[in-house]
Structure 1
Amino acid sequence: MTHTHVAAYPLSPPVRDRPQVAHPPAPGLQLLRFAAVMAMLLAAAAFLQSSFLTVSDIMITGTSRVSTDDILARSGLRVGQRLVTVDAARVVEHLTQHPWVAAARLDVSPAGRVIIRIQERVPYAALPYRDGHLLLDQTGVALAVVHGTPPVPVVVADGPALRWVRIGDRIPSASLLDAMRVLAALPEGEVTRGLRLRVDRAGSVMLTTVDDVTVLLGAPPGLIGRIVSLPQVLSAIRRQGLGVRYVDLRFAGSVILKQGAPPSRGGVRH
């Protein structure tokens, strides 16, 4: 018997198993797709510019001292105006020109609601000025002139007299800023209406409490440490009813108590 050997060769894969070769779309199809995308973009831009997107509602938050009517008038916004005309940066610039407005922000929704968020300045101290007092925020910005007893502590900073102050401006006084920093370091329970604090040209600090106890705190070196001891000293004086009207804390490690009026420079004059 004769055996015949047949060489084996790999068979070509079926047509359906062959990898598909991607063919680039015809130039005409590419142009058609590009035209469709551009048409959609132009339509979207036209819609944004149309009268369909308008300010539907204006809400103002964060105000307690400034009227919402004043805020709305300063913003220049109105219901019905096109959203595309709302310039948030310009609105914020106008609003922060108000003396009582520390910061402002606009939130604008695609539905047309505009929220104006206001952060107001808070009266922190009062500075004697002419026949009244200037209300100041913690950074020394003049907020208003009040007459009678101010609702916040009174600070006096020795130096040139204030001839003229524009409401909304920051008082240009280094001594005043020193006084504000001292006020911020005082025990929270003492910082209230009726407190009087004075800083002289050398930076020496003196205060008179609501119950008319005058305290000499002295010069800046070591001042914070003396302020820390203040609550304990005042608490002991009040608890024991000693009738002390004058406390000297200027000297490290000692507390000098005196009854009656302090020396001639002991009171805070304004």
Structure 2
Amino acid sequence: MTHTHNAAYPLTPRLRDRTPAADPAQPAIALLLRFVVAMAVLLTAAAFPLSSFFTVSEIIVVGARNVSAGDILARSGLRVGQRLATVDADDVADRLTHYPWIAASRLNVSPAGRVTISVQERVPHAALPYRDAYLLLDPTGVALAVVRSTPSVPVIRVDGVALPWIRIGDRVPSAPTLDALRVLGAVPEEEIARGLRLRVDRAGSVTLTTADGITVLLGQPRGLLARIASLPQVLSAIRHQRLGVQYVDLRFTGSVILKLGAAPAGGGVRH
């Protein structure tokens, strides 16, 4: 009897049943394509605002009273139709604050093309005799303008100070004048509205004269703000009782001295 041995070999799977091997180049190509598409989108987005579709459509000036809107617009360098990408808000604001009447400014640029220029103006606070005219000053002593007519703000006279020249936009180089401005800032608004004069002598002592002729000796600037606190009540009492006084002495803290004399004149302030 013959025995036949058949060897067992693994069967080769059919070709169609095989899992196709992944091509290592395909993921790299996909990533590259995604990168190219993303960069194209970013470049398009970055370049789009530079196109003619984004331009200044309107310019609005807010907060201007003493300075005309046209003057502010001219100094800003902005114009309707220019590309929004060329509007440098910080540069424009800095350029405007070089104008003496403008203390601060800022820009708001909307995507629709509207540019709003907001300005904070300096306000005339006092006038200083200057040559044959008056120099308008803001509360910090910045020179705003030279006017020929009698100003509506209080006039400050400082003995021994004669400014040979002053550049508009600069702060007055006079410590007594700056002291007088600080004193004026503590004077009640109703007295300023009535009209008054302020004088600083060579020793630095301050004298105030009201519109109805009441002279107030305020003394040295040091400690003056505390002494001047009683001024409204003192002036109110003098006017209510129709007292005739030559002067009111507030040079000493905690005391009020009245020098009786002729009744105060009812005329306006002479400059």
Contact 1:150 / 1:193 at 8 angstroms: preserved in 2? no
Question: What are the superposed Cα offsets for residues 21-71 of structure 1, whole Å, 9 maximum, x if unpaired?
Answer: xxxx92222112111110101111221221111111111111111111111
SS in 1 for 2:98: coil
Distance 1:220 1:167 in 2: 27
Contact 1:246 / 1:261 at 8 angstroms: preserved in 2? no
Distance 1:193 1:68 in 2: 31
Contact 2:245 / 2:258 at 8 angstroms: preserved in 1? no
Higher mean displacement: 57-66 or 186-195: 186-195
Distance 1:28 1:159 in 2: 86
TM-score, normalised with respect to structure 1: 0.83
Contact 1:127 / 1:156 at 8 angstroms: preserved in 2? yes
Distance 1:58 1:221, change over 3 A: closer
Distance 1:168 1:207, change over 3 A: same
Q: 258, 261, 264: which one pairs with 2:260?
A: 258
Distance 1:84 1:222 in 2: 54
SS in 2 for 1:226: helix
Distance 1:226 1:54, change over 3 A: same
SS in 1 for 2:73: helix
Distance 1:101 1:216 in 2: 35
Contact 1:186 / 1:227 at 8 angstroms: preserved in 2? yes
Aligned residue identity for 2:43: L
Distance 1:260 1:187 in 2: 25
Distance 1:269 1:209 in 2: 10
SS in 2 for 1:191: helix
**How far apart are residue 188 of structure 1 and its match?**
2.4
Structure 1 residue 138 and structure 2 residue 150: aligned?
A: no
Distance 1:64 1:242, change over 3 A: same
Distance 1:222 1:66 in 2: 37
Question: What are the superposed Cα offsets for residues 164-190 of structure 1, whole Å, 9 maximum, x if unpaired?
Answer: 112221111111111111111122222
Distance 2:236 2:252 in 1: 20
1:53 corresponds in structure 2 to 54
Distance 2:69 2:174 in 1: 33
Aligned residue identity for 1:259: G
Distance 2:102 2:173 in 1: 20
CA RMSD of aligned residues (A): 2.1
Give the alignment of 1:71-86 within 5 angstroms: 71-86=72-87
Distance 1:174 1:244 in 2: 31
Give the alignment of 1:107-122 within 5 angstroms: 107-122=108-123
Distance 1:28 1:180 in 2: 75
1:216 corresponds in structure 2 to 217
Query: How many pairs were matched up?
Result: 241
Structure 1 residue 190 and structure 2 residue 191: aligned?
A: yes
Distance 1:200 1:109 in 2: 54
Distance 2:79 2:258 in 1: 64
SS in 2 for 1:47: helix
**How far apart are residue 254 of structure 1 and its match?**
4.2
- Identity fraction in percent: 67
Distance 1:193 1:236 in 2: 17
**How far apart are residue 251 of structure 1 and its match?**
3.5
Distance 2:151 2:161 in 1: 22
2:205 corresponds in structure 1 to 204
Distance 1:153 1:45, change over 3 A: same
Question: What are the superposed Cα offsets for residues 111-142 of structure 1, whole Å, 9 maximum, x if unpaired?
Answer: 11111111111111111111221111111111
Contact 1:249 / 1:256 at 8 angstroms: preserved in 2? no
Question: What are the superposed Cα offsets for residues 135-167 of structure 1, whole Å, 9 maximum, x if unpaired?
Answer: 111111111122332111111223431111122
Which runs of 5 or more residues in structure 2 are unaligned?
1-25
Greater Rg by CA: 2
